Structure 1
Amino acid sequence: MMRAWTLPALLALCGAAVSTRLFLGGNAGAASVVLLVFLVLGGMNSPLVFPKSVSAPEARERSAVDGRPVVFWRPGCAYCLRLRVRLGLRARHAHWVDIWRDPAGAAEVRAVNGGDETVPTVLVAGRAHTNPDPAWLRELLAP
C-alpha cells in the first residue's frame, strides 16, 4: 500500500520545497502555480485516479459472470494513466487490479508477459493484451 503513495508523496514534497523557496524569495504567484502543478501531478499518479481495485481472483470471477475486461495496473505507470484517461467514464465498466496491492495479480501479469510486470495488461475472454490501444478497449466497454 505504501509503495503506491511513494511517487505522489515525493511530488507533493518537492512541490512544497520549491514553492517555499519561491515564496521566501518574494514570488508568491509563482510559488502558488508550482505547488498546484506538483499537487496535480501527484494526484494523477496516485491510486485515487483509478477505479477501486479488486483482487485478481475476484476480478476473474466477476469477468466470467459479466464478460467485462480485467485491467492490471500499478500507480505511477504513465501507460496505465494514459489508458485510464482515454477510457474516460467507461473505465468503471472494467475490473481493475492494482498489482502492487495484489500479489496474485502481479503473478498473473508476470505469467502472461514472460516474467515481466508489464502494465497495463488487459484480459479479455481469458486472452492477455499488453498495453492495448485505448480506442480498442473503449469500444469493448461501449454500453
Structure 2
Amino acid sequence: MGPILAGRTDNRPVRVGHVGAIGNVAVLMTAADTLTMYTTTWCGYCVRLKKALQAEGIPWTEVDIESDPAAAEFVMSVNGGNQTVPTVKFPDGSALTNPSIKDVKAKLGR
C-alpha cells in the first residue's frame, strides 16, 4: 500500500504511480491532476498499462477494486455491470476500459 493522497475523504490508501517534477524538485500530483486506474492485484493487462504509463511519464493513481467497494461500483457503472479492469478515469471524468497507451495519450492530447 502506498501513501494516502491529500483530498481523499475515505482515508483508504492508494498507490501513486508517478510523481511530477518541476526542474529537479519532485512534486506529488493530486488525484485531480492524474488518471485514476482501477485495477486488481492479478490483472496482467493492468501491469502492462502501468509499465506503459511509467515509460511515457504519465502520472496515475491506482485503486484496487477488490479492496474498495466504491471503486468497484464505479467500474461496474461504466462497464455495463462488469468489473472489467483496467478501467481508466481521466481528469475530465470520462473513462476508458482496457485502453492502449496510444488511446490514453490521444485522450490526454499527447
RMSD of aligned alpha carbons: 2.9
TM-score by length of 2: 0.63
Matches of 2:40 and 2:3 in 1, distance apart?
A: 10
Question: Secondary structure of 2:95's match?
Answer: strand
Write out the 4+ residue segments of structure 1 that deviate beyond 6 Å after TM superposition.
none
**Deviations, residues 60-91 of structure 1 (Å, cap 9, x unaligned):** xx443x2x211111111111111012222535
* Paired AA for residue 102 in structure 1: D
Question: Secondary structure of 2:41's match?
Answer: coil
* Deviation at residue 53 of structure 1 after TM alignment: 7.6
* Paired AA for residue 133 in structure 1: S
Tell me, which stretches of 5 or more residues in structure 1 are unaligned?
A: 1-46
Matches of 1:110 and 1:82 in 2, distance apart?
A: 21
Alignment equivalent of 1:109, drawn from 75, 80, 86 = 75
* Paired AA for residue 41 in structure 2: P
Contact 1:53 1:95 in 2 (8 A): no
Matches of 1:136 and 1:130 in 2, distance apart?
A: 10
Alignment equivalent of 2:102, drawn from 135, 138, 141 = 135
Q: Which has the higher strand share?
A: 2
Matches of 2:69 and 2:31 in 1, distance apart?
A: 19
Matches of 2:38 and 2:3 in 1, distance apart?
A: 9
Identity in percent: 36
